[in-house]
Every structure is written in C-alpha cells, then in structure tokens.
Chain A
Amino acid sequence: MTATQHPPFDDETTVHDVVIIGTGFSGLAMAVQLKRRRNDSFVLLERANDVGGTWRDNTYPGAACDQPSHMYSFSFRLNPDWSSIFSEQPEILAYLQATAREEDLLSHVRFGADVELASWDASSHTWSVRTSRGTVRGRVLVSAAGLLSEPRLPDIPGLADFRGDVFHSARWDESADLDGRRVGVIGTGASGIQIVPRIAPLVDRLFVFQRTPHWVTPRGDHRYSELERRMYRRNPEKLQELRTAMFWENEERFAQRAGIPLLLAKVENVALTLLEEQVPDAELRARLTPDYAIGCKRILKSSDYYPALMRENVELVTGGISHIDHDAVVDAAGVRHEIDVLVLATGFEATEPPIAQHIEAHGQTLAERWAGGAEAYQTTSVSGFPNLFLIGGPNTGIGHNSQVYMFEAQVEHILGVLDLMSTRGVDAVEVSRSAEVAFIEAMEAKAATTVWMTGGCQTWYIDDRNGRLTTLWPDYSHTFQEQIPWVDAESYVSV
C-alpha cells in the first residue's frame, strides 16, 4: 500500500481528539483502544508506507523477537495461530497488519507523513503537527515513535570510504547479494546473533566483529503442532493460561537481575553450560566469555549462534576495529579483513530518542527539556508539555519481559487521563513538576539495588550524561502494570 492511495491530507482546520505518532505495537495499541471506545477522532502519523514499526523495518535474515510470541502480542488480541514459541518477523508484521485492518484503523493512518515538528499552541490548546505531507492538529499528542527505532551507526574511521555494499541491520538491503561473498557483521548484540547463523551457510567468508561478548542463554524453536493450535483456537482460556505461564516465567527472570547473587549464579551457570557445550575450543570460548555480571546488558537467547561461529568459513574478530578502508575492515592488530558486504548490526539510539527533537512546547523542545536525561511522570507525561503522552519513553524498557506489556499499561494511563479531562470538562492538562519529581525519585531508589547500577555495567541502559538508568524500568514488570495505569487527579493540573 502506498501513500498515494490514501485520501488527501487533513485540512488544518480539523482538530482531532488525538494525534498518534507511529504505527508499531504502541501506536496501534493506543488506536485500537480509542476505536473500541467508539472514539473516531484520531489520526496516526506514519513515516513509512505500511504499519508495523520495528517489525516492518527489521527484515534482516533471522529477525525474530526474543520474547515468546504468545506474550509479545496484545492482551486484547491473543493469537492462537503463532507458528512457534519465537515467531519470526514476517509473522509478527502480519499480526500487526491484521490488527490495523481488522480493527478498522487504516483510514486513520496518514502514511508517508514524517513528523517534522509538533508544537503546542497554548492559545488554542492544540498540538499542531507539521509533517512531510502537511499539518495535522489535535488536542492530545501521543508519541508512540518507538523505543528502538532509530538505527545507531558506528563511529569508525573510514566507514564512508567502504566501496562495497554497506547497510544497517534495520535497513537490510534486499538487493545485496550475499551468496558466495565475503561478509562482515559489526556488532554481536540482539540483531547480530540472529543474523550470523542465518547467513553463515550462504556466504563465502563471514567475519564477525565483536566489541564486547554478551551472555547467551539457550532458545528453542519449538513449532506449535496443528493439535496445539486447534486447541488454542477452540479454548481461548487455554491460550490465556499459556500466556499467563509465560508472563510469570519471565518475571522470575527479573529476580536474576535484582542483585540476588544465588539467582544470578543460577542463570550464569545456564549460560556458561551452553558455551561449554557448544564451543569446545578453549581459546574461542575465552573470547566469548563476558567479564561483567550477567544481566548487565540484555541477556541474549540463541541456540544457534555459537555453532555458527564454529563453522570453517566464520571468523570471530575481537579486540576492536582500527578503521575501515575501501574493501576491508582493519582490526586493532592491523589485520585487514577483506569484505564485499558490510552489515552494521550496531543497535539503536536509546538514551536519546530522536523524536524528542521534534516535539516542542513553550519554545522548548523535549530534547532540550531532557538535556539532563530523559524523565517522565508515570513514565508517560512530562511537565511543561500539556496534553503530551509518551509510550515507550523513559524507563519503559524491559529486558526480561515483553515490551508490549509495558505499552499496554501506558495506554491504560493515557485513557485514564482522557477520562479525567472529560470528567472535568477541560481540554488540556499538564502534570505538575512536584508529582514528576516524586515519581522519578521513587524509581531511582529502586534502581539503586539492581545489577545495572551495581554490576560494573557499561550499557546503553544508563545515560552517560547523568549516570542514571533512564531507559529501563528497574523492577518486575508486574509492578509497572500495578503503578502506571493509575491516574492521580491531583497530579494533573488543568491548564
């Protein structure tokens, strides 16, 4: 579907109730809930030509979610047909496309509309959102632009001089031919370890450039049988039971990150056993063994990454990259690794969400407001920014459970504030600074005991500018659902 197939852009005199930026899991969750509450006055702004966010963008070979699909989906749209525990990207994208279609959201989406600047107009109490296709106006602005949507490119000297194909994992170049070629993958995080096993059998040589080894635990790929899927279709309560089981299994994992040595040791043992079983070569094993506490960084899950590294045509390069020239990556030891195709599996901008530069109120952008680190009341609203709500903003990242779970709690909070506004009969509210500060202080106290702050971690979870844990929720996710939907009327001041 393309932007041109859609009706002409909005007339600027129309004021929608809600303008949503993004059509990934978070934006669609918000829209479905508005729609189901029979509110039709909303638009979704989408820079691409299809819905799906991360799951539209990340088409690299092997792309899959490392959360079980039955958990990594909407509570209000359980899907009995997931093909396996960890379904791959095409299936997740299809789920989101079906959601948009079946919940009748497509006519609300403005495709090809890249947000340039959203500004709060204090006199009319509206957000005016200028996009690449025109301007839309709304009372309430929901930024659902994603937690990890903006590719982060590595700062390696000479990258621009490389003459072969080069692309970021989230912008996979389908036209680049890998068959029988020499390929380099820079980065061994969540994307890198999914790509490597998938492309290793295709290529002539594969160089895997690892900066820091991750902890890796096993991941199965059990495919649900026809019997199981039929049972879930006919007995939705069994499907819910499965999801509930997955949820609490995930929650048990949080205890492993909460600084409890015995539980950390248990999961570290699982990871080391996998490494020992799959990598008999002691020298290679040493280079793959992390020197920091498990849980510091995201614990990766894969049962086929280490075996891929054992292949004859795959070489793990550690010790750092010195520079890149026209046809090679040169490592710190000065060795040239000649390469035809370079894949940058270097992750995403996290501590500084780029959308913050495009949202402005009272002459200040959200990025400026967050110069000292991103923060938000109930993770969702920001003082000085009336009628603005963020889904997947500061302190909503979760390593041990489903990100969609976090989004849903935030959507519930936003619906609560919308109800508060209509009960009060006002068209604008803003969170008080004191409520915001109290929330942030309580959260920091909780973060202080977790492995991220105590484990000698160097990770994107922590903001360099202030040493604060600004991306992750530093607790079990069930406490997020207990706390975040709650709307304290006192904290929201009518403006």
Chain B
Amino acid sequence: MKHELYPGTVAGTVEVDGAVVGYQDAGEQRPGRPVVVMIHGTGGSVESHFFTLFPMLASRSRVVGIDLGDTGGGPLDLDHLVAQVLAVLDERCPGESVSLLGYSMGSCVASATAAAHPARVESLVLLNGWARTDNAMRLRFDLWQRLHTLEDRSHFRTFMVMNVYGRAFLNSIPYIGPRPWSQVEQMCDDYATGPSAARHMEMNSRMDIADRVVDIACRTLVIGSRGDQLVPLEHSHELFGAIAGSTLAEVAGGHASVTERPAHLFHLVDRFLREPGAFTPGARVDDDVVLQLAAFERKSA
C-alpha cells in the first residue's frame, strides 16, 4: 500500500511504450528554486528509497518522485528509462528545466538524461552513483543475480543487508546503544525488492555510460558514501572527475545513504539548490556545518 509521503501529494501515471510510470508530485513551487525530480534505485520506489528525503525536500520546494515502470520482454534499456523520465517531465513540468536527483541506479538514469537533454535539466544530484560497472562491482552483481533466483530467498536477503548498510547502522541504534542481533535478523527477514529488481540488476551489470557523463554540462552535486560496498566511493570520485561542473560531497555510512543519513543528504541537496554559489565546481564540500568553531578556529588561525 502506498502512503501519502507529504500532505497534498498528487499521484498519477503516464504510459511510455507499454510501461506504466508512476509519479508523486508534492510541495510548493518556489520562485528561484527548480522542481526536484527524484529517481529511485534498483528494485526500489519513491516510497522505499525516498521515504524521508522526499518529504524533507518537499517542505522546501516542489518535488516530483518517479516510480519507474517496466515493459517486461527483452533486456531493460537505460534509454527507455530516460524516456520514462522525460515523459513525466512533459506531464508534470512541461517546458521547465528541472533538477534531477538519482539514487544508485537512478543516478545512471539521471546522468543519461542530463547528458542527452541539457535543456530539460538545470542541475543534477547523483547519490551513490556510478558511470561504469567494473569487475569488482560485477562480482557482487553476478552473485546478486544468482542468489535472487534461488527458491530460498534468505541467502539473497542476508547478502543484500550486508551489502547495503554501513557498519555503524548495523551496529548501533541512535540513543539506545548496540543494535541487538535479533534486529539485524529482522532486517534480513524484512528485506524486499520490487518486481523489476532482477531486470534492473541485469542492466546494472552491463552499465557503461562513461562516454556520456563527460558530456554533462549542468552543475552537479556528486554524493558518495565512504562505507558503500555495493557502489564504492571511488565511483563517485570518477563522476566528480568526469563532470566539469561537479562538486563532491562524502557522507559516512553504507550504500543506503537515503536510510542511514537522510538529514545529511537533505542538508547538502537543499543548500545546493538554495545557494548555488556555495558549491564550487571541482571542489569538495566541507563538513563545517558540523565542525563549527573547530573549523572556524582553523580557518582564522
């Protein structure tokens, strides 16, 4: 069952070559702030990947979340997913230039969209993304696919909890202390993916948009997680290098940044949209908002 992620959300669908694409449109359009269009990752949805980030961003500006659709049939094509994004843009924000935010696989969709349709994308946020699946990733993706086909899904679920979450998240509960093992087992039992997960993963294992991302001309915020095992931080470093107008931010935690660190992501994205001048292309975002006077002392010394 779908929840209303933010008060007043307008939900609907568009059809693209037989695929039903969902959208959730919420928040108030504000002058000087682009609409933020959010694209989830492998086997996900707006609700499962942006449960916290979507309402956080919607409290600041208009946000459109896309639930990617699938035609079934032949192997999934990245350009088809790009077409889905464009179809939602045409439906909800015709003629507008938006800010595209993609998480994990969604970052590949967002990058490909921005590279091919610069007039529709005024800025880009790539969360835990990558440009080219390398051998190290492919080992995980291959194992993912093999475990996913087993009748006993418990191996797959354990494998994913292990890959997705960072150490700190698995080991502790804020305000409480160590996370009991029983809760980790529960997380494994509860781990679920959407119907197209296997087809997404098959596409992921042959992902290579290295020659496209270098064409991205809009300003870009690349955010990677230091403890990401599924899409290691180095891939964010590659994107940061490849995209001329990009700024890099690193957050702590694993691949599930949207679950582990939503407030940190919100802070980075909100500021990126609100105060473009604060993000210098080629620079890294500092942690001064947490370091406070410790950072101030170092700067004024």
Contacts and interface: CB of A to CB of B under 8 A. Distances in A.
A412 to B, nearest CB: 5
B222 interface: no
B289 A220 contact: no
A404 to B, nearest CB: 9
B206 interface: no
A251 B264 contact: yes
B178 interface: yes
Interface in B1-54: 3-7, 51-52
Contacts of A262: 3-6, 51, 55
Nearest to A261: B7
A245 B175 contact: no
A405 B292 contact: yes
B95 interface: no
Contacts of B287: 244
A248 B168 CA distance: 13
A75 interface: yes
Contacts of B252: 241, 244-245
B175 A218 contact: yes
A399 B294 CA distance: 23
A260 B263 contact: no
B71 interface: no
B150 interface: no
A263 interface: yes
A408 B292 contact: yes
Interface in B168-186: 168, 173-178
B267 interface: yes
Contacts of A412: 292-293, 296
B297 interface: yes
A221 B176 CA distance: 7
In the complex, which of the residues A220, A221, A405, A415 has the most CB atoms of chain B within 10 Å of its own CB atom? A220
Nearest to B178: A222
A388 B250 CA distance: 39
B5 A33 contact: no
B2 to A, nearest CB: 11
B33 to A, nearest CB: 15
A408 B266 CA distance: 22
Contacts of B294: 75-76
Contact of B297 (A76, A222, A250, A485): A76
Contacts of A6: none
Task: Give the most central of A248, A252, A301, A411: most B CB within 10 Å.
Answer: A248
Given A222-B177, A255-B263, A449-B59, A260 B6 contact: yes
A248 B55 contact: no
A25 to B, nearest CB: 12
B5 A219 contact: no
Interface stretch (A105-113, A135-143, A355-363, A474-482): A474-482
Contacts of B296: 412, 415, 485
B8 to A, nearest CB: 11
Contacts of B300: 37
B271 interface: yes
A249 B290 contact: no
Interface residues of A, number: 48
Interface string A405-421: 10011011001000000
A52 interface: no
Contacts of A33: 293, 297
Contacts of A408: 292-293
Interface in A237-263: 240-241, 243-252, 254-255, 258-263
Contacts of A221: 177
A348 B136 CA distance: 58
Given A220-B176, A255-B55, A243 B297 contact: no
Contact of A252 (B6, B263, B289, B295): B263
Interface in A140-196: none
A476 B173 contact: no
B262 interface: yes
A465 interface: no
Nearest to A86: B175
Chain A CB within 10 Å, residue with most, of B5, B6, B264: B264
Contact of A243 (B7, B290, B293): B290
Nearest to B58: A260
Nearest to B275: A482
A150 to B, nearest CB: 27
Nearest to B278: A482
A301 B293 contact: no
Nearest to A219: B175
A74 interface: yes
A220 B177 contact: yes
Contacts of B55: 255, 260, 262-263
A422 to B, nearest CB: 13
A424 interface: no
B175 A220 contact: yes
B235 interface: no
B167 to A, nearest CB: 11
B56 interface: yes
A259 B173 CA distance: 24
Contacts of B291: 75, 240
Q: From B55, B168, B290, name the one whose CB has the most chain A CB atoms within 10 angstroms.
A: B290
Nearest to A242: B168
Interface string A324-349: 00000000000000000000000000
A301 B175 contact: yes
Nearest to B56: A255
The residue among A37, A222, A249, A250 with the most chain B CB atoms within 10 A of its own CB is A249
B289 A481 contact: yes
A234 interface: no
Interface string B159-203: 000000000100001111110000000000000000000000000
B290 to A, nearest CB: 5
B59 A260 contact: yes
A220 B173 contact: yes
Contacts of B262: 252, 255
17 contacts: A29-B293, A37-B300, A75-B290, A75-B292, A76-B297, A218-B176, A222-B178, A249-B175, A252-B262, A254-B263, A255-B262, A255-B266, A259-B7, A261-B4, A412-B292, A415-B296, A478-B289
Interface of B: 3-7, 51-52, 55-56, 59, 168, 173-178, 252, 261-264, 266-267, 271, 287-297, 300
Interface of A: 29, 33, 36-37, 68, 74-76, 85, 217-222, 240-241, 243-252, 254-255, 258-263, 301, 405, 408-409, 411-412, 415, 449, 476, 478, 481-482, 485
Given A255-B52, A412-B296, 9 more contacts: A219-B175, A222-B176, A244-B290, A246-B174, A254-B263, A259-B59, A261-B4, A262-B4, A412-B292
Q: What 5 A-B pairs come out closest when comparing CB atoms?
A: A222-B177, A251-B263, A220-B176, A220-B177, A75-B292
